Structure 1
Amino acid sequence: MKKIFAKKLGREVKVEEIIYIEPDLVMTHDHQGPMTIREFENIGADSLWNPDKVIFVMDHRTPSQTLVAVENHQKLRKFAKKYGVTKFFDVGEGVCHDLVAEKALVRPEMVYIATDSHTVTEGALGLFATGVGSSEMASIFATGRVWLKIPETIKVTLKGTLQKGVYGKDIALRLLEIIKTGGADYKVLEFGGPGASSVSVASRMSLCNMCLEMGAKTAIFPVDNVTVEYYKEKGVGVQELYPDEDGEYISEIIVDLDQLEPLIAFPFSPDNVRSVSQLGDDVYELNQSVIGTCTGARYEDLKVAADILKGRQVKSGTRMLIVPATKDLMLRCTQEGIIETFLKAGAMVNVPCCGPCGAYGMGVVAEDESTITTGSRNFVARMGAPGAHIYLSNAATAAASAIEGKLTDPRKYL
């Protein structure tokens, strides 16, 4: 991580040093964007630092759910037109964190700042990515500068190979079990080791995304062959980049992927983790299963869910909601018959958006209901009623659980 800043500043940086830097790219969306615009106007700014480096995404309160939501969308459209923001993704294009990766807008060694806590997702591609508040983004809009304190780094060494039915989400839940929520406050989680090569970009994004729940300032993977091939498929050439062997770390955590199995976070915290083997004979019935959000709605997730659901039915009394991360992904899944499989199985498929992550117009659960989701958070009232039980899992577990109407080990279906 320090290599990225050293290259931009032309000098070495030290842990806890405060630096001022120009981001390579910034993003805001319809949830924080309106407040960013208000603060931009409040400080008297009359010009946007660099419209080519600014991205707007309409993904949280979409499709336009309320009068306030649609008015906020209008504000962003008008601001973008006034100041020449052309990297504008309107309602229905998809979730911000997936769009910037899918379109290869974010690239290795960048400094990427956005008004969303899950901006850390992009660290999967070998860049420094972190979230800020609306007032800070307003300042960046006006000045093109942001201040950052160089964080300490925790080394996470992956060994072995991901097994059947196990994905990046499960690595994240394992780390949450170890570190706990807030246990990596303002730290960098730097992933590496021989097992990293078995972790796909999609799984890396889910893993880095969940590091925010540990309090991490950011999370990052090396730019290895997996990353190079990802960008190559997009017609973009990138160079491999690894940390120095004598890098500075405050601790090391080793995760044995060979021993990892599907995990589930029980209410009401992402670190309240159990393995599917620990379910035993206990029955945890479900009213809903959700595959969506910036944590778990990529092709890898939808493909394994379709493989499990093909020729089967969602259990009566359990509703299933699937929200692909982007429009292009939804189109691909339509062409490959994945969407048809979902619909035939009895699932509902919705327009790409953040939606069920925070019960933004869909996926709401009642006081006496339980839901499993590929999302990132399961604290009280995250998806509706305060008493609703929310379980976090990978997409395979969510799909298998939808079939049985209860928490289920997905490996029997794979």
Structure 2
Amino acid sequence: MGMTITEKILASHAGKDVVESGEIIDARLDLTLANDITAPLSLEEFDKVGAKKVFDPEKVVFVLDHFTPNKDIPSAENCKRIREFSRKYGITHVYDGGACGIEHALLPEEGLVVPGDVVIGADSHTCTYGALGAFSTGVGSTDLTYGMVTGRNWFKVPESIKFHCYGTWQQWVTGKDLILAIIGMIGVDGALYASMEYTGEAISALSMDSRFAIANMAIEAGAKNGIFTVDEKTLAYVKDRGQKPHAVFESDGNAKYREVFEIDAGKIGLKVACPSLPSNVKDVEELGDTHVDQVVIGSCTNGRLEDLAMAAEILKGRTVAPDTRCIVIPATPKIYLEAMRRGYLETFVEARCIVSPPTCGPCLGGHMGILAKGEKAIATTNRNFVGRMGHPESEVYLAGPAVAAASAVKGSISHPLEVA
């Protein structure tokens, strides 16, 4: 029996010729990641076990993106702890202040992850890097400590589920709509501890930004990771950042899959996940005049340049509805600068949007856009659980950038054609 991409990457890092789903392996790591919320817990464990150094100062990454600029004293203390640790142990990649972006947009942009890598992060959306043909997954802070110290971690090899997508995408539809459609189809536990593998001509047609959005939300289906075949777009993305693949793997023709789904991209419309599960998915046309108090365009799912371009196209020459707030968050400083050069930020400001520096803030109900009791938001983020963005009696709808921007203009959940 052949192997999938995920199995081949894990086998190569475990020093084995073959691995099978369900097998427990000890694998070498190429990168470990933590942020300003999860790193302090790992550093406490680091001290408890008496560690004297990290396995490689160039392969430990800290991104202070969740509560920065610091929103309160505890967040300031957490960041101070990370800075002190990084200076003590010579950590190379510490992203703070004006150099900081949202971690899962920042690491690929900086060329820190390449095809064939094994990456762990103390953040569940670490699965984003599967868009590059890497095996990446979220872990707990204690597992991260072990990885930081030893450069290794144990894994149970996941089963794989293939999503073969064919056909031509409709206007405005992006990878966000595909992954919402899939989660709506299989549920939030439909890919539990599995690898979600994406193939087909429609996948090849997607931009890297869309692929990152799809891989990012693998965890919302309960998956261990999401992963894409490395193609010319992947290689061009990596090359543009001065890097080359660790290794390029393809699934064998006789690889074993738990399930295979055939999806016609032409039938995927603009999707919205309604409160309070990412699987409560409906077509935008079904939601009528659902008023929204706040719109958030950003996050590690949809704060990239393609997302901002789409939102700017819809908001150009228009204004945000009087009873609605719209927050736009470019995911990294480089995206912020390029959006500025292209005039997107001017468009957003003229449309009466709030333009924020890169932050995870509102996505996790941290800061920069907390919802009050009874308020509704539509966001390009990845989770809409009860209380996710603020008060437990607020509600969050998830969508792609086109629907979010159109909804900001109308003040209610809307299709882009409604504002054309």
TM-score interval, normalised by the smaller of the two chains:
over 0.9
Aligned: 1:348 with 2:351: no
Aligned: 1:243 with 2:258: no
**Which residue matches 1:169?**
176
Report the CA distance between 1:346 and its aligned residue: 0.3
Contact 2:289 2:414 in 1 (8 A): no
Given the two structures, how large is their TM-score scaled by the length of structure 2? Answer: 0.96
Aligned: 1:363 with 2:369: yes
- 3-state secondary structure, aligned to 1:295: helix
1:387-398 matched pairs, under 5 angstroms: 387-398=393-404
Contact 2:330 2:358 in 1 (8 A): yes
Distance 2:47 2:217 in 1: 33
Report the CA distance between 1:240 and its aligned residue: 5.3
Which of 285, 292, 296 is the matching residue for 2:298? 292
Query: Residue by residue, what CA displacement relative to the aligned partner does 1:287-308 show, whole Å, maximum 9, x if unpaired?
Result: 1110011011100100000010
**Which residue matches 1:273?**
281
Give, as a single letter, the amino acid of the residue that structure 1 aligns with 2:201. P
Query: Residue by residue, what CA displacement relative to the aligned partner does 1:377-408 show, whole Å, maximum 9, x if unpaired?
Result: 11100011111111000011000000000000
Contact 2:272 2:284 in 1 (8 A): yes
**5+ residue gaps in structure 1?**
none
**Which residue matches 2:3?**
none
Contact 2:114 2:244 in 1 (8 A): no
Report the CA distance between 1:199 and its aligned residue: 1.1
Distance 2:101 2:297 in 1: 14
Distance 1:186 1:139 in 2: 21
Distance 1:68 1:292 in 2: 25
Aligned: 1:126 with 2:128: no
- 3-state secondary structure, aligned to 2:300: coil
**Which residue matches 1:187?**
194
1:3-22 matched pairs, under 5 angstroms: 3-8=8-13, 9-22=15-28
Query: Residue by residue, what CA displacement relative to the aligned partner does 1:15-68 show, whole Å, maximum 9, x if unpaired?
Result: 111111120111111110000000111111122121111111100111100111
Distance 1:241 1:223 in 2: 7
**Which residue matches 1:46?**
52
1:72-87 matched pairs, under 5 angstroms: 72-87=78-93
**5+ residue gaps in structure 2?**
1-5
* CA distance 1:234–1:48, change in 2 (3 Å): closer
Aligned residue pairs: how many? 412
Report the CA distance between 1:413 and its aligned residue: 4.8
Aligned: 1:336 with 2:342: yes
Give, as a single letter, the amino acid of the residue that structure 2 aligns with 1:135. T
Report the CA distance between 1:412 and its aligned residue: 4.4
Aligned: 1:217 with 2:199: no
Report the CA distance between 1:233 and its aligned residue: 2.6
Report the CA distance between 1:122 and its aligned residue: 0.6
Report the CA distance between 1:161 and its aligned residue: 2.1
Which of 297, 304, 327 is the matching residue for 2:333? 327
Report the CA distance between 1:180 and its aligned residue: 0.3
- 3-state secondary structure, aligned to 1:36: helix
More moved, 117-126 vs 91-100: 91-100
Query: Residue by residue, what CA displacement relative to the aligned partner does 1:214-257 show, whole Å, maximum 9, x if unpaired?
Result: 10000000001221222233233447542111111011112211
**Which residue matches 2:239?**
232
Aligned: 1:91 with 2:97: yes
Which of 201, 206, 211 is the matching residue for 1:199? 206
Give, as a single letter, the amino acid of the residue that structure 1 aligns with 2:264. D
**Which residue matches 2:316?**
310
**Which residue matches 1:2?**
7
**Which residue matches 2:119?**
112
- 3-state secondary structure, aligned to 1:248: coil
Contact 1:36 1:134 in 2 (8 A): yes
**Which residue matches 2:269?**
261
Distance 2:156 2:385 in 1: 29
Report the CA distance between 1:411 and its aligned residue: 3.7
Identity within the alignment, %: 41
Report the CA distance between 1:173 and its aligned residue: 0.6
Distance 1:65 1:89 in 2: 17
Query: Residue by residue, what CA displacement relative to the aligned partner does 1:196-224 show, whole Å, maximum 9, x if unpaired?
Result: 11111111111111111110000000001
Give, as a single letter, the amino acid of the residue that structure 2 aligns with 1:193. G
- 3-state secondary structure, aligned to 1:303: helix
More moved, 400-409 vs 254-263: 254-263
Given the two structures, how large is their TM-score scaled by the length of structure 1? Answer: 0.97
Give, as a single letter, the amino acid of the residue that structure 2 aligns with 1:15. S
Give, as a single letter, the amino acid of the residue that structure 2 aligns with 1:404. K
Which of 148, 152, 160 is the matching residue for 1:141? 148
Distance 1:315 1:77 in 2: 42
Aligned: 1:69 with 2:75: yes
Contact 2:285 2:414 in 1 (8 A): no
